[in-house]
Amino acid sequence: MTSLDIATRFMIGVFGLAGVLAIMASVFNKDWFFNSVNARAVTGRMSRRTARVFYFIAGVAIIVMAVYMAYES
Q: Name the domain count of the chain.
A: 1
**pLDDT tens across the length of the chain (73 residues):** 788 799 999 999 999 999 999 999 999 999 999 999 988 887 888 999 999 999 999 999 999 999 999 998 7
Which residue, 28, 20, 22, 50, is CA-closest to 42?
50
Burial 33-48 (b: 16+ CB within 10 A, else e): bbeeeebeeebeeeee
Look up the domain containing 13 and give its range: 3-72
